[in-house]
Amino acid sequence: MSREIKFSLVYRDMWQSSGKYVPRVDQLVRVAPAIIDMGVFDRVETNGGAFEQVNLLFGENPNTAVRQWTAPFHKAGIQTHMLERGLNALRMNPVPADVRELMFKVKKAQGTDIARSFCGLNDHRNLRLSVEYAKKAGMISQAALSITYSPVHTVEYYMGIVDKLVEYGADEICLKDMAGIGRPTFLAQLTSEIKKKYPSIIIQYHGHCGPGFSPASMLEVARAGADYLDVAVEPLSWGKVHPDVITIREMLKADGFLVKDINMDAYMQVRALTQEFIDDFLGYWINPANKVMTSLLVGCGLPGGMMGSMMADLKPFLGAVNAAERAAGRPEITLDTLMVKLFDEVCYVWPRVGYPPLVTPFSQYVKNIALMNLLDTVKGKPRWSSVDKDSWGMILGKMGKLPGELAPEIVAIAKEKGFEFYDGNPQDMYPDELPKFREMMAQEGWDCGQDDEELFELAMHERQYRDYRSGVAKQRFNAELEDLRAKAGAPIVIKRPVVELPEFDAATFMKEHPAAIAVQAPVRGKVLWGVDVDDTSSAPVNGSEVHAGEAMGFIDTYYGHEEILPAINGRVLAVMAAQGKTVQKGEILAFIQ
């Protein structure tokens, strides 16, 4: 009898890999019945990753969203699953153990069945508590392997991790091929080895389309024994997202596997509703380039979902790079040339920093190092001159053990800076914090919520949760959306009036403008209003718009760059610090209103 292959619709990741936001809870509740009526899905990815943060950025309660979004699938007998980042849980930086444990209790109570847990470094120590806490909460623990392609990421390497995850009690294994660069035959061999050693372990494959391997990979892992495949639906399938369920189902059916039928009327309804959400507002944050696959991703191994943000990063760098090229008497380069240079630099950086799998947040760290290396080298500076503190944290072992060896030049730079390497358990560096957050809730007069879910949100995303409670988040989001809608409907770009103000010292200016809000330096260092310290024309123009929580510049420190973040949405009234000026922590850099 033919073996059945089951499908999971990664509805959360479809959106997360396409743009900044996911649908609101009212939209998710509308599309859920049609997803169920398709009849082809045994699982749906509903939350996790950035889902909770996105709801807070909307100014809405993520706990309400998870409960309402998972409920119809439970009623229909469809399992729901979430994504969490091991030591980092639902955010980009490490989380104390007691907050991690509470997360699993809360998500199980809210209706999430399966916890997919991954560590971007494949350090099994970072996953041990995820497995134990998920099972203690009554969830299915699905431990993920971050798949990449390098000399150190062999089948033997991954099987060593699988052995540990099974020892910890993981119920399932996910092959998380986040950049889609896992070679099909390699993935099949790994799947076969897992099934041979652990026949009862469920295997689920997750692969993005970016470089084009995914359909072949799905067929190969299915033949090798995989049980579930992650798929998407139009209009957010293919490109740099995930393969569409129609194609993958037909491919497997033709190969002799048992697969459920698709109710095409329901498929078209899901497709139409998804497009409606895009047209409503979500499309403003979706880069059209995400619809295009590119073989350039095969070499650098960057996740396709990063391409939109990466291209946005490259545009301001292009001006700085070309300024340096002109100064050196060399011809200017195009954005496409710069992109290829970045891919080449990633290929240079990646092995030298120990081959971290290029998945959040380590893909961002490697990309950032490569970007700054490019800028520094065209200006005649040595590589590694501008490594930021988070990237140093990865290099020094504070987030887990790197898969490969660091290059001697990196070790030498670290020693020159007086940095110390850490080889202990990363979790030990982050003591418990829930008592502190319970006290905060009491001080604010806030209820901890059903199953302590409000306490959890404060502890996991303190700044965003406070903005949600105060109403600032909703105001900020509505203003951002209104601005994008206005720009989309206006064929003519209207320049903001320039406000010319005389020079003041900070104290005098505050007396003259009592409603002005000061923007202060977060640390000691050199002011960078633009990426090129030598560009003295980079300071914000008086009257220009700034947005709360969005960087309006940087402070260049000995360990990298710190963002200059305004506290409110507003306009620049005066700039008090020139490009390249060295400032002290707390010094006033600008005034906004």
CB 540 within 8 A of CB 566: no
pLDDT tens digits, residue range 276-295?
999 999 999 887 878 888 88
For the residues 555-564, what does the mean pLDDT come to?
Answer: 70
Residue 305 has pLDDT above 60, yes or no: no
Q: What are phi and psi of 144, to 5 degrees?
A: -105, 145
Which of 56-70, 162-176, 427-441, 476-490 is predicted least confidently? 476-490
- What pLDDT is attached to residue 593? 79
Torsion sign, CA atoms 341, 344, 346, 349: negative
Per-residue pLDDT reduced to its tens digit, 72-83: 999 999 999 999
Token pair listed for 335: 């954005």
CA atoms within 13 A on the CB side of 200: 4
Q: What's the CA dihedral at 61, 64, 65, 71 to 10 degrees? A: 170
More confident residue, 576 or 413: 413
Which tops the pLDDT comparison, 17 or 100? 100
Token look-up 């340096």 returns 324
- Above pLDDT 90, what percent of the chain? 63
In the chain, the domains with their CATH numbers are: 6-290 (3.20.20.70), 296-428 (no CATH), 506-592 (2.40.50.100)
Residue 486's pLDDT band (cuts 50, 70, 90)? confident
Determine the Cα–Cα distance for residues 570 and 548; give it in Å rounded to an integer.
8
Q: Check if the beta carbon of residue 361 is closer than 8 Å to that of residue 390.
A: yes
Half-sphere exposure of 192 (CA within 13 A, CB side): 10
Tokens standing for residue 185: 């035959």
* Model confidence at 495: pLDDT above 50: no
C-beta pairs of 428-435 under 8 Å, 24+ apart in sequence:
429/94, 429/398, 430/94, 430/95, 430/96, 430/97, 431/96, 432/96, 432/97, 432/98, 432/99, 433/96, 433/98, 433/99, 433/459, 434/96, 434/98, 434/99, 434/102, 434/459
Range of weakest confidence among 94-103, 289-298, 548-557:
548-557
CB-based contacts of 470: which residues, under 8 Å, 6+ apart?
Answer: none
First to last CA, the chain: 70
Q: What is the pLDDT of residues 397-416, one digit of tens each?
A: 999 999 999 999 999 999 99
Q: Is the pLDDT reported for residue 19 higher than 70?
A: yes
The H or E element spanning position 93 is none
Q: Which residue has the higher pLDDT, 563 or 537?
A: 563
Asked if the model's pLDDT at residue 308 lies above 60, the reply is no
* CA–CA distances in Å: residue 239 to residues 187, 211, 235, 305, 464: 21, 9, 10, 10, 31
Question: Does the pLDDT of residue 394 top 70, yes or no?
Answer: yes
Return the pLDDT at 541.
66
Q: Quick one: pLDDT at residue 498?
A: 33
Predicted pLDDT at 531: 52
Q: Are 529 and 556 in contact (CB under 8 A)?
A: no
- Taking the CA atoms of 314, 317, 323 and 328 in sequence, report the sign of the dihedral they define: negative
Summary mean pLDDT of the chain: 89
Predicted confidence at residue 508, as pLDDT, reads 64
Q: Calculate Rg over the CA atoms of the chain.
A: 25
Range with the largest mean pLDDT of 44-53, 189-198, 498-507: 189-198
Mean pLDDT of 108-137: 97
Residue 45: phi and psi, rounded to 5, are -80, 115
User: Does pLDDT of 535 surpass 60?
Assistant: no
Average pLDDT over residues 251-260: 98
Contact 451/109 with Cβ under 8 angstroms? yes
Rounded to whole angstroms, the maximal C-alpha distance in the chain is 84
Confidence of residue 492 (pLDDT cuts 50, 70, 90): very low
Higher per-residue confidence, 507 vs 262: 262
| pLDDT given for residue 393 in this prediction | 92
Question: pLDDT: is 95 or 328 the higher one?
Answer: 95
Q: Are 535 and 559 in contact (CB under 8 A)?
A: no
443-453 pLDDT per residue, tens: 999 999 999 99
- 425 SS3 class: coil
Angle between helices 472-489 and 462-470 (to 10 degrees): 80
- Residue 10 pLDDT > 90: yes
Supply the pLDDT for residue 582: 85
pLDDT at 533 over 70: no
Residue pair 175/182 in contact (Cβ under 8 Å)? The answer is yes
Q: What is the pLDDT of residue 1?
A: 52
Q: In angstroms, rounded to a whole number, what is the distance separating the alpha carbons of residues 469 and 473?
A: 8
Q: How high is the pLDDT of residue 312?
A: 60
pLDDT (average), residues 432-441 = 97
CA 453 from chain center: how many Å? 23
